[in-house]
Every structure is written in C-alpha cells, then in structure tokens.
C-alpha cells in the first residue's frame, strides 16, 4: 500500500487548521480543537494527520477489493475540485444538488439516468423534427438532469463508500448512507456534527485550497488502490503498452542497403576523370585566357608523321 505523501506543513499552507468563530462551534468537535485565536477555533493537526491516514487506508482497501467511491460536495467552493478529482480516478460525484432518495430510492433515480442518456442520444436530425418550443424544453430538461445526475450517469449500482465535504450541507446524504449501511468518510469543521460519520477527518471545509488538497489525496489513493486490484488479479500493466518490434531486417534488405551505399562511391570515382580533364584544360590555358598553341601544333605534326608512315608502308606492300 503506497499512500500519497504529505506533511503538516502542507496542511498549514492550505489552511486546514482554521475553524469557525468560537460562538459557531459544535460541542461534539471539542476533542479535535487545539485552541482559539482572535475569536477563531484552531484545529489540532496532529489528530488530523492520524485520522486522515486511517481514512485513506480504508479507501485504499475498499478500492483494492473492487469497490467504488461517491464524491459528494455541493457547496460552491467544492464543486470544481470534486468533479476534477472524481474524473481523474474514474469514480462518481454529485456536486450540484443531492436529490433525496439517491441511495434509498435508487430504482427511481436510475430511471432518471436512463432518461438523461436518451436525451443525450438525440442528434441534430432528430431534434429538427421537433418544434422550436419542444427543442427548448428538451434542452432545459437535459441541462437540469445533467447538473444533478451527470456525475453518476455511469454508476450501475449504489456506491460502496461516500466521501463528503461539509456534513452540515450534505446531512441528507449521510442519513441515507447510514440507513443502508454505507461507510462515510467526511471532512469535519468546528461547526460540524460527527453523527453518522465512520471515518471523520477534522479540517477546514470552506477554504478552496484545503478542499483541493483533500480531493487530490483521495484521488491518488484510489488510483493506487486500482493498481493494486489489477496486480492482485494477475494483470500486467506493461502489457497494455504496445511492445517495440524486435524483428530484424531480412538479408535482402541489408544487401540492398549496402548496394545503395556503394553506388554513390562508384559514381564519385567515375566523375573523377572528368574533373581531371577539366583541370588539364585549365592548365593548358595561358595567362591571357588563351590555350597554349604550341602543344596543339606538336600534336598535329605527330598525327601527320603517323599518317605518312602508314601510307609509305601500304605502298611498299603493294610493290611487293
């Protein structure tokens, strides 16, 4: 089990230790409060680190067994972080509004999910058959369903665990999970209640940096748990990659490449006499650019002498 690494300094920089005002506290959180400063409660980060490790370990064990996690956070600061973290680790999320009965009345919710998929299946040619008002109604219905159910439209069954940001705002989700026996991992601020939470994590649930840190740690833990699940199933992750071809080229290909390399050298040797002849002509040219006529005259005399010798030899042969 390789849990993501973090330290108290990262929690401090993210503002995890900040709670609410002292007059807005829940007495059930007294054991997790370190003290107060300027009228604001300060959480004990030593307990936060210990309980965060425990929660991440439980998430890892559950995912390694093939379980699924549902991220729940509908407050404005958590919406984007929840969606990004769940999408990164291929899990499910609800970040707009918790529909009552999402867990306890799953059959009805699954019918709404089927309706959402039917609306997504419409193409432009099919929409062109409707009137303008009907098309507007279809678009509105699709947007409404997508906001509430878009993060769970691929969920085939109820999840095995909930990860919740702000237990006060998501009290209905925690009650439904408790009713059907689903464990809950939740971030608890100084004004939160511990009722129905199986793995509490004391921390700031309002700061966007703190929420991003929680979601990032949980998503990394889920990814590691999925790798452990694949490893225990005997699936080699390296086999998913396309192996490099180890086939060596045939002898004919090698011979052809060698011939291609030799041919240019032969062409160079064939071109060398041409360059020598051009150099010889340049040497024959005089200083004023004209060719040396003496050498040409000597060559013509030699040709005449050769012709005269040949003609004399033919005459002697005829006389004989």
**Same domain (yes/no): 202, 295:** no
Where among 202, 237, 272 does a domain terminate?
Answer: 237
**Same domain (yes/no): 257, 231:** no
Higher pLDDT, 308 or 301: 308
70: pLDDT strictly greater than 60: yes
263: pLDDT strictly greater than 80: no
Where among 237, 259, 275 does a domain terminate?
Answer: 237
**Average pLDDT for 27-51:** 94
Q: What is the pTM of this model?
A: 0.71
117 domain-assigned: no
Q: Which residues pair with 118 in a beta bridge?
A: none
Give tens-digit pLDDT for 73-130: 999 999 999 999 999 999 999 999 999 999 999 999 999 999 999 999 888 888 888 8
Containing structural domain, residue 256: 251-319
Strand pairing report for 184-188 and 161-165: parallel
In our burial notation (b when 16+ CB lie closer than 10 A, e otherwise), range 166-189 reads bbebbbebbebbbeeebbbbbbbb
Return the pLDDT at 238: 55
Return the pLDDT at 229: 84
**Average pLDDT for 27-53:** 94
Q: What is the residue-averaged pLDDT of the chain?
A: 81
26: pLDDT strictly greater than 80: yes
Give tens-digit pLDDT for 130-155: 889 999 999 999 999 999 999 999 99
302: pLDDT strictly greater than 90: no
Give the 3-state secondary structure of residue 7. coil
% of the chain with per-residue pLDDT over 90: 64
**Average pLDDT for 285-302:** 47
311: pLDDT strictly greater than 60: no
239: pLDDT strictly greater than 80: no
Token code pair at residue 315: 């005459």
CATH number at residue 59: 3.40.50.10490
**Average pLDDT for 25-52:** 94
Give tens-digit pLDDT for 206-227: 999 999 999 999 999 999 999 9
**Same domain (yes/no): 307, 266:** yes
314: pLDDT strictly greater than 90: no
233: pLDDT strictly greater than 90: no
**Average pLDDT for 54-72:** 94
293: pLDDT strictly greater than 50: no
% of the chain with per-residue pLDDT over 70: 72
34 domain-assigned: yes
**Average pLDDT for 232-257:** 53
115 domain-assigned: no
**Average pLDDT for 195-213:** 94
* Number of structural domains the chain divides into: 2
245: pLDDT strictly greater than 80: no
**Same domain (yes/no): 181, 223:** yes
Where among 237, 269, 290 does a domain terminate?
Answer: 237
Token code pair at residue 22: 């002292």
**Same domain (yes/no): 83, 20:** yes
Higher pLDDT, 297 or 9: 9
Return the pLDDT at 241: 52
**Average pLDDT for 268-284:** 46
Return the pLDDT at 235: 64
64 domain-assigned: yes
Higher pLDDT, 262 or 224: 224
143 domain-assigned: no
In our burial notation (b when 16+ CB lie closer than 10 A, e otherwise), range 8-37 reads eeebeebebbbbbeeeebbeebeebbbeee
Residue 246 binned pLDDT confidence (cut-offs 50, 70, 90): very low
């Amino acid at each position: 089990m390789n849990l993501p690494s973090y330290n108290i300094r990262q929690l401090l920089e993210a503002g995890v230790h900040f709670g609410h005002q002292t007059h807005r506290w829940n007495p059930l959180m007294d054991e997790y409060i370190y003290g107060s400063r300027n009228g604001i409660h300060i959480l004990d980060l030593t307990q936060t680190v210990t309980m965060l490790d425990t929660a991440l370990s439980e998430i890892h064990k559950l995912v390694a067994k093939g379980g699924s996690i549902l991220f729940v956070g509908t407050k404005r600061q958590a919406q984007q972080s929840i969606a990004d973290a769940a999408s990164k680790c291929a899990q499910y999320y609800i970040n707009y509004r918790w529909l009552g009965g999402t867990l306890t009345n799953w059959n009805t919710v699954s019918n709404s999910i089927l309706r959402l998929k039917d609306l997504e299946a419409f193409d432009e040619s099919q929409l062109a058959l409707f009137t303008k008002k009907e098309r507007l109604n279809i678009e509105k219905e699709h947007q409404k369903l997508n906001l509430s159910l878009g993060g769970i439209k691929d969920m085939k069954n109820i999840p095995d665990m909930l990860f919740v940001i702000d237990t006060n705002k998501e009290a209905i989700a925690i009650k439904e999970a408790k009713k059907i026996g689903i464990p809950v991992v939740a971030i608890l601020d100084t004004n939160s209640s511990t009722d129905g939470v199986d793995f509490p994590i004391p921390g700031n649930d309002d700061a966007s940096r703190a929420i991003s840190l929680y979601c990032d740690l949980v998503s990394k833990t889920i990814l590691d748990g999925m790798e452990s699940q694949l490893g225990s199933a005997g699936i080699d992750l390296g086999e998913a990659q396309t192996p490099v071809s180890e086939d060596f080229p045939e002898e004919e290909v090698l011979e052809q490449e060698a011939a291609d390399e030799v041919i240019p050298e032969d062409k160079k040797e064939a071109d060398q006499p041409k360059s020598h002849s051009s150099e010889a002509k340049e040497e024959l040219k005089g200083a004023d650019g004209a060719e040396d006529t003496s050498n040409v005259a000597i060559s013509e005399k030699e040709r005449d002498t050769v012709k005269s010798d040949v003609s004399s030899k033919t005459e002697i042969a005829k006389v004989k």
